[in-house]
Amino acid sequence: MRYLILQDMYDLIIIGSGVAGMTAGIYASRREMKTLIIGKELGGQLIWAGDIENYPGFERISSFDLINKIKQQTVKLGVEFKDSEIQRIKRLNDGTFVLYTNKEEFKAKTVIVAMGLSPRRLAIPGEVELSGKGVSYCANCDGPFYRDKTVAVVGGGNAALDAAEVLSKIAKEVYLIHRRDAFRGFETLVDLIKNKANIKILFNTEIKNILGTERVEKIKVFDNLSKKDSVVTVDAVFIEVGRIAATDLVADFVERSQRHQIIANQMMETKTPGLFAAGDVIDSEFKQISIATGSATIAALSAYQYLQLKKKE
């Protein structure tokens, strides 16, 4: 395959144009680093959110507005953006990197992997259409919007159980829907859920359709034992069936957890000198916007420090 070879050497290339990637770009640019962000989905997972109430400085802001504000700030500081997808990475003998898209190659002294995670979806009618309009993948982010409402949580692992427990303190009623006959979470968490008066557990049940016009109004569920369909009125659906880390791209350069998330130290360094990681893609317990921006700040400053030390060698 022929590539369009771009001769410019970047101080830093960031893989991923989500909040973490753009934050890293801001801090790198402030250190006078020539920086390029390459990503296909501006805003990352944030585009699936509706309004946000837990980002410092904003009592309430739409995900669209927050993404655009961060991008405007990033561009104003001189960071370049490329709407593309990295397909291969090579590290040269001098420690620099070559990153390949399907048509171009880019050179960089350092790289930050900030590609985030993708929520595992149910792939059912209404899920995409009502995303951000009652369909959510983050109870901590969107739960407060549904105070005294009726909501559903889909899943059977710790994430779903934790979401149901959090929502039970906010919502009037919580339906916890699991396709199997037992949960896969911690026993203490399972016991806690079963003792919550406003959590109704639907075992052996699958959600088949999410219904609504402007917002979520109802869900259609199927009982695997009785083989019957039924409709449940809810104001929101929280899908907690796991997240996917698509990190095969950097598998040769990093250590990964069982969930394929990248293992990085406190400086966001990976096992490969000059290659850093930030945001939800790193192996950490909690996934929040503020945590992603914090790790991205560390990664960018670490990349700058790495280059300064290289100059002294």
Give yes or no for residue 302 having a pLDDT over 90: yes
Please give the pLDDT value at position 148.
Answer: 97
* pLDDT, mean of residues 195-223: 96
pLDDT of residue 149 exceeding 90: yes
One-letter amino acid of 176: L
Q: How would residue 142 be classed by pLDDT, with cut points 50, 70 and 90?
A: confident
Rounded CA-CA distance 84/161 in Å is: 37
**What is the mean pLDDT of the segment spanning 139-167?**
91
Residues catalogued as catalytic: 138, 141-142
DSSP label of 310: H
pLDDT of residue 5: 56
Amino acid 3: pLDDT: 55
91 bridge partner residues: 97
| Rounded mean pLDDT, 181-198 | 92
pLDDT of residue 127: 94
The average pLDDT across 237-246 equals 89
pLDDT digits (tens, 9 = 90+) for 15-60: 999 999 999 999 999 999 999 999 988 888 776 666 788 889 998 8
159 vs 269 pLDDT, higher one:
269
Tell if the pTM clears 0.85, that is, is over it.
no
State the Cα–Cα distance between residues 165 and 174, nearest whole angstrom. Answer: 9
Q: What is the CATH number of domain 4-118+243-312?
A: 3.50.50.60
- Per cent of the chain over pLDDT 90 is 75
**Residue 91 three-state SS:** strand
Sheet containing strand 236-239, strands side by side: 135-136, 236-239, 150-154, 173-177, 199-202
Question: Is 80 exceeded by the pLDDT of residue 141?
Answer: no
Q: What is the mean pLDDT of the chain?
A: 92
Contact 217, 152 (CB under 8 A): no
Sequence-separated (6 or more) residues with CB below 8 Å from residue 252: none
Average pLDDT over residues 210-216: 96
CATH number for the segment(s) 121-239: 3.50.50.60
CATH 3.50.50.60 domain span(s) along the chain = 4-118+243-312, 121-239
